[in-house]
Structure 1
Amino acid sequence: MGLGAILLAPLGDRFGRRPLLTITVLLIAVATIGTASAGSATGFAVWRLLTGTFLGACLPNATALVAELAPRRRRVGLLTVVSCGVSAGGVAAGFVVPPLAAGGWPMIFIVPGCLTALLALALFLLLPESPKLLLASGRRDALSALSLRLGLGSAARWQAPAAAPAKPSMLAPLARDYRFATFVFVGIYTLNATSLYMLVSWLPTVLPRAGFAVDQAARLTSLVQAGGLVTGLLLSSFLDRGRTTLTLVCAYLAVAAALLAFGVIPKTLIGWGFLLLVAGGGVSGVHLAMMAVGTSFYPPQILSSAIGFAVAVARVGAIAGPLLGGLLIKSDVAPATFLATVVVPVLACAAGVLLVPYVRRPADGRTPPPLRHPAEA
């Protein structure tokens, strides 16, 4: 996913989000079905690597397209819903895989692959292109048709967005005008990934050490993802009202307080379950919402590149978190101490959020009122 995000996702900025999404979803289907034909561990790994690469190219462009099509006052909420789809799909897989596996392990890949191919066809028939990319490429006729289709009014209501590199590249987010925004966005997103994956990877080990049964530990660990879905949607309702800094700082402080409280709250299912819902759900929820916040830092011409860059660099945090947790486990620290250690990257994220107000935002690409979309009025 990291490879696809940084190498292929920027192509959406250059050639359009619609063709890249349609092609990559089709390639995901082909690679998924191809996995079922693997006759060795090496072949299996190659097919999964290809699947992840195309997923890494697809997700940043899907996020970028929603960011451009969504009304401004509902943008963060809609983007968070899209991000929640990844977690919801992971939960759904737990219910879908067992009956598919009853028909043999290849069915786990054949059936989803075929459904993904149908999705690619639906995208080809129904998915619109980014209005701002149509404007930037001078395709006024296509923009007019799309504006009428989406109820956005005349194409004349759109104005050229802020200047950006004529040929966006994977390094466009590091250009001078966007370097600080990238430092803030990618820094918070990576540190948050460190916290999230440190928890998710080691809770099944830490909780039994605290005295919980293995099945209880599994249920408690599931609260991280489930709580993230709820928390992400809750945070988005405040973020859409323009309270970005206050909302995210309060969320991180609540997570830090919950992580420290493991040292004083009795080790019960209810007590520690509540703390995990706040701490794990908070970290997971902010991870979903932060992607939505980051989309406002860049103009449309480099949005896929910026999101792809963030996703790729965040893989560093996704690797560092479990490694750091492994060192603590090897040192045989107490469960409460392990959880308290996660406070360090969490508070670093809160400090990073304080820099968000200093990020220079790009022009939205539309003329001022009263020419805005009615949904943004």
Structure 2
Amino acid sequence: MSRNQPINVQTFINEHPFGRFQWLVFFVCFVIVLLDGFDTASIGFVAPALLTEWHLGKPDLAPVLSAALFGLACGSLTAGPLSDRLGRRSLLLWAVLLFGMACLGSAFAQTLEQLTVLRFVTGLGLGAAMPNAVTLMGEFCPDRRRATIINLMFCGFPLGAAAGGFLAAWMIPHFGWRSVLIFGGVTPLLLAILAAAQMPESVRFMVARAMPNERIQATLARISPAALSAERFTLTEAASSNGRSGVNVVLSKPYLVGSVMLWLAYFMGLVIFYASINWMPILLKDAGLPLKSATLVSALFPLGGVGAVLSGVLMDRFNANRVIAVCYGLTAVSVYAIGQAAGNIGALVAVIFLAGLLMNTAQSSMPALAAAFYPTAGRGTGVAWMLGVGRFGGIAGSFLVAELARRHFSFADIFATVAVAGAVASVGLLVKQLAAPQAPTSSVGAESVSH
């Protein structure tokens, strides 16, 4: 290759194997998702110990348990535009440091108010880190494997949640509840050291922002030394930023309908997820199951996240909008079936596991769908806003079941109502497909060049 011939960075990534350097990026991003799952599960195990040590009533814990969710939403909504302006790497590092220090600080909280504030800050950091991890990983993936790799990365969430439960169950009796938060704080701080030493900035972002050629060349050379033969790098996309901010790209006419449908689908998916994991043990117990059986059966629901890998393969081969829409549609059917299976323990076990498999598969596939939909100039904002808006769905899901129970809805009626969210998510993605049959980034168009 002539030294004067420019390299298109995405074509370069597509033409080379997914190598050791990209697996390093994957590892760091995977651990960030793992830590989110760990944090989500472990605080639930810490809560009973707080009730005893601080002599609290159950309603007193509501602010602590919801603070991180509000922080996650706020962190996602603010971090996306910052990522598109400042870069993926720097924001990711600061976010990991923030949630590590806040989680570590939570271990030394002396009052409920202190713990609530620190849980909110922990959520802010996690909310900023998660979408940046998705965006950075997506921008180092070959197009043909992007959904598979991002979905594989998101398997870290259920694994982290499972690890959080098991570790907390072992650590709290031996070392106290503060040990769980110390572990959850020290781990990201160690990860930040590795990320600062090894993690690169996204090459797509560097070209789009016309950063120094030497930085782009040095990063691409870690994928293949062939990058050293070029002095210019290009980025070909259908939508050029034209100096617009990430927010302006996401809300622009070509992307607006797709953006709203992504927010709607992710919101509705988390309505189902949090309504189920927060309330299913109580609802099953009220339906006649012994408490131990209700807890064990409910634990089947979040185990289905590994189905996202198969979904990623299907998304890379077929129409991704339709693949996930089918998953959400089947989720609605299976969640409705949970309400019809009361009194039959065998049927409950089967249908709850199936519902969890379908729901977690659909939900874990959404970040890959968003990452493929937006151009580089708006990808950070697009992914982050979808995740941020969705967190409010988690809050809504918890309050929805509480209100239905207050109105004395039956077991079957509660799950029939929750199932509607899956149908709405499915329709939303079909509308996105009809409004923009192909993501605007998928055709060739305007070019960014780094000199």
CA-CA distance at 1:249 after TM superposition: 3.1
Instruction: Mark the CA change 1:79 to 1:219 in structure 2 (over 3 Å): closer, same or farther.
Output: same
| CA-to-aligned-CA distance 1:97-129 (integer Å, 9 cap, x gap) | 234332233322223322221100000111121
CA-CA distance at 1:217 after TM superposition: 1.2
| CA-to-aligned-CA distance 1:190-223 (integer Å, 9 cap, x gap) | 1111222222222112111222111111112111
Alpha-carbon distance between aligned partners in 1 of 2:444 and 2:247, rounded to the nearest angstrom = 26
Match of 2:221 in 1: 148
Aligned residues: 366
Alpha-carbon distance between aligned partners in 2 of 1:140 and 1:160, rounded to the nearest angstrom = 17
Match of 1:309 in 2: 385
> Identity, % of aligned pairs?
27
CA-CA distance at 1:152 after TM superposition: 8.2
| Deviates most, 171-180 or 82-91 | 171-180
Instruction: Tell me the amino acid that sits aligned with residue 150 of structure 1.
Output: I
User: Are 1:29 and 1:117, in contact at CA under 8 Å, matched by a contact in 2?
Assistant: yes
Match of 2:21 in 1: none
| CA-to-aligned-CA distance 1:16-62 (integer Å, 9 cap, x gap) | 11111112212222212212222222222222111111111111100
Alpha-carbon distance between aligned partners in 2 of 1:363 and 1:264, rounded to the nearest angstrom = 43
Unaligned runs of 5+ in 2: 1-71, 446-451
CA-CA distance at 1:172 after TM superposition: 4.7
Unaligned runs of 5+ in 1: 368-377
Match of 1:203 in 2: 280
User: Are 1:36 and 1:106, in contact at CA under 8 Å, matched by a contact in 2?
Assistant: yes
Instruction: Tell me the amino acid that sits aligned with residue 28 of structure 1.
Output: F
Match of 1:249 in 2: 325
Instruction: Tell me the amino acid that sits aligned with residue 203 of structure 2.
Output: P
Indicate the SS of the match to 1:69. coil
Is 1:300 matched up with 2:376? yes
User: Aligned-residue CA RMSD in angstroms?
Assistant: 2.3
Instruction: Mark the CA change 1:366 to 1:23 in structure 2 (over 3 Å): closer, same or farther.
Output: farther
Instruction: Tell me the amino acid that sits aligned with residue 355 of structure 2.
Output: A
Alpha-carbon distance between aligned partners in 2 of 1:74 and 1:92, rounded to the nearest angstrom = 28
Match of 1:87 in 2: 158
Match of 1:371 in 2: none
CA-CA distance at 1:133 after TM superposition: 0.9
User: Are 1:6 and 1:170, in contact at CA under 8 Å, matched by a contact in 2?
Assistant: no
TM-score scaled to structure 1, two decimals? 0.90
Indicate the SS of the match to 2:80. coil
Alpha-carbon distance between aligned partners in 2 of 1:313 and 1:245, rounded to the nearest angstrom = 19
For residues 136-175 of structure 1, the aligned pairs below 5 Å read 136-138=208-210, 139-151=212-224, 153-154=226-227, 156=232, 158-161=234-237, 162-164=239-241, 166=243, 168=245, 170=247, 172-175=249-252
| CA-to-aligned-CA distance 1:119-169 (integer Å, 9 cap, x gap) | 000001111211111101222221111112113843656425431263635
Instruction: Mark the CA change 1:334 to 1:114 in structure 2 (over 3 Å): closer, same or farther.
Output: same
Match of 2:405 in 1: 329
Instruction: Mark the CA change 1:167 to 1:34 in structure 2 (over 3 Å): closer, same or farther.
Output: farther
Match of 2:267 in 1: 190
Alpha-carbon distance between aligned partners in 2 of 1:297 and 1:23, rounded to the nearest angstrom = 26
Alpha-carbon distance between aligned partners in 1 of 2:313 and 2:104, rounded to the nearest angstrom = 39
Residue from 16, 40, 47 that aligns with 2:111: 40
Instruction: Mark the CA change 1:58 to 1:218 in structure 2 (over 3 Å): closer, same or farther.
Output: same
User: Are 2:324 and 2:365, in contact at CA under 8 Å, matched by a contact in 1?
Assistant: no
Instruction: Tell me the amino acid that sits aligned with residue 363 of structure 1.
Output: T
Instruction: Mark the CA change 1:103 to 1:258 in structure 2 (over 3 Å): closer, same or farther.
Output: closer
Indicate the SS of the match to 1:159. strand
CA-CA distance at 1:336 after TM superposition: 1.9
TM-score scaled to structure 2, two decimals? 0.76
Residue from 288, 297, 317 that aligns with 2:364: 288
Alpha-carbon distance between aligned partners in 1 of 2:383 and 2:321, rounded to the nearest angstrom = 20
Instruction: Mark the CA change 1:136 to 1:339 in structure 2 (over 3 Å): closer, same or farther.
Output: same
Match of 1:363 in 2: 441
CA-CA distance at 1:364 after TM superposition: 5.7
Residue from 206, 212, 216 that aligns with 2:293: 216
CA-CA distance at 1:312 after TM superposition: 1.8
Indicate the SS of the match to 2:176. coil
Match of 1:277 in 2: 353
